[in-house]
Structures are given as structure tokens and as C-alpha cells.
Amino acid sequence: MEPAVTIAIYLLLFGGTHIGLASAPVRSRLVERLGEFGFGMLFSVVAAVAFTLLVSTYARVRFEGAPGIALATVPVAREVLLVLSGLSVLLMLGSFARYASSPYAIYSAGHDGEPRGLERVSRHAFFAAVILFGTAHALLATHLVGTVAFGGLALFAGLGAWHQDRKLLALRGAPYARFLAVTSTLPFAAILAGRQKLVLRELPWGHVAAGLVAAVYLRWVHSAILSSGGAWVVGVVVGGAALLTVEAVVRARRATRRRSLDAHPRSA
């Protein structure tokens, strides 16, 4: 079988289960049976297994099959796309700064509709980073399997951003509608349109600096990133997602305790 077809199948498995399990009808039924925490565990395990299959298979077949777009062989295009890939890493790391208190976090207590920090640049900074990263690598890929893998990743991120907006609008109502009205998925689009302003002091400069270091390091070790069947890529992504989930759970429980204390203050 052409490697690009195999990767397309695994992309559909990863994207289909990810978005399918998160869709309101499926999620509500599973939460009724498993509870919120049980659903979160099921979602995480399925996502981790599907992602591992995708990465390990791509690591094995990435140099096989039909040729890709191969802009990596065009010097000017190659440098531009590598710079865009590096910027995507900065945007991705920056998106983690407020994840636990964002409307997208698992177990999030909600959102007041007021964008802050990187949300002013892009309400979906992580998804925007994945779209940028995936598109750049799809164009750079010397084999069709790479074009399909990274192009599919970019497409999945775009669908994920759209799906989250629809889901959270139905869940949160007016506050999220206000958030949508004054922000954009495309970085800086809302700022250029005059719906938002850039507040430099709110930006997560520590995370951006870490992203710059990470981008330089990843370029340095680029040839070895998918060695050992992509094991370290899987470990970093799955482990990072687990840490973010734990942080979100801790914050949500603290918020619940605070609301409980406010509703039932101790008598003097």
C-alpha cells in the first residue's frame, strides 16, 4: 500500500476519534455513564493510542513512496518555511501559559468573555501554531507521505478550532459569543481589523522565550526527532497533555472549593 494512504487512514482514526468523542451527543452520553473524570481518562487514552500509531507509522515510512511538493529543495522557499515553522513553536509554547484558565481546558470553570494575553493575538493560539507548522512541513516534504501527514495535521487543527468554537458557544452562550466577536483564529487578524488590541505586558514572554530556545534546539536535532520510532515525540506530546490536564483539574477543584465557601461561609 502507498505509505501516504496508510498515513491518511491513521490521520482519520486520530482526528475522527478526537473530534467524535468530543462532540456534544457522544460526550454527554459517556459522561453520564463514566462521569467527567472517567470520560477524561477514556478520551486521553484513545487520543494517546491513536497518536502513537500515527507517529510511529510515519517514522517508519517517511522516506518511502511517491514524491511530495518538496519546497525543501528551493532555497528561498525553504528558509521562509523554516522561519514560519520556528514561529509556530513560539506560538505553541506561548499558548500553554494560560491553558488551565482558558475556556478550552478540560474541567474549565468557564470564561468571562474577555480575551487576555495571547488570546488577543489568536483565540486558538495552539491550533493556529499547528496549522502553521503542518502547512510549512507539508510544503517542505520531499515525499507524498510527509505532505499528507503534515497537511492532514493542519486540516485537523483547523477543524478542531471550528469544532471547539461551535461547542463552547452552545455551552457558554453570551460570554463566549462576546469572546468570538472580538478575537480571531488567524493570528493578528482581529487586531488588524480593529476588533482587538495588542497588550504587550500581557504576553507570556517567559513561554515565548522558551519557545525560541525550543525552536533552535529542534532545528539542531531535526534529523533525530523521529528516531526510535518517534518515541520521544510521543512522550513529549502525550506527557505534556497529561501535565496540562492535571493542572486544569487542580485549578477547577480549587475554583469549586472557593465557590462552595462563598456560598456557605462559616458563621462568625
Describe the chain by its helix, strand, coil percentages, rounded to 5: 75, 0, 25
Is the Cβ–Cβ distance between 109 and 139 less than 8 Å? Answer: no
Higher per-residue pLDDT: 256 or 5: 5
Contacts of 244 (CB under 8 A, 6+ apart): 96, 99, 100, 105
Is the Cβ–Cβ distance between 99 and 115 less than 8 Å? Answer: no
CB atoms under 10 Å from CB of 54, counted, come to 23
Task: Tell me what pLDDT residue 266 has.
Answer: 58
Grade residue 267 by pLDDT with cuts at 50, 70 and 90.
very low
Residues in a beta bridge with 67: 143
The Cα–Cα gap between 132 and 247 comes to: 26
Q: Residue 130: which of 4, 18, 246 has the closest Cα?
A: 18
The Cα–Cα gap between 68 and 194 comes to: 39
**Grid coordinates in use for 82?**
523554516
Q: Residue 19: which of 162, 180, 173, 172 has the closest Cα?
A: 162
Question: Exposed, middle or buried, 13 (CB in 10 Å: 0-12/13-18/19+)?
Answer: middle
Q: What is the pLDDT of residues 58-94, one digit of tens each?
A: 999 999 999 999 999 999 999 999 999 999 999 999 9
> Could you write out the DSSP letters of every residue in 219-254?
HHTGGGTTGGGGHHHHHHHHHHHHHHHHHHHHHHHH
* pTM attached to this predicted model: 0.88
pLDDT, averaged across the chain: 89
The Cα–Cα gap between 232 and 252 comes to: 30
**Mean pLDDT, rounded, for 8-21:** 93
Residues of the chain with pLDDT > 70, as a percent, come to 90
Q: What secondary structure letter does DSSP report for 267?
A: P
Is the Cβ–Cβ distance between 103 and 166 less than 8 Å? Answer: no
Q: What is the pLDDT of residues 28-60, one digit of tens each?
A: 899 899 887 888 889 989 999 999 999 999 999
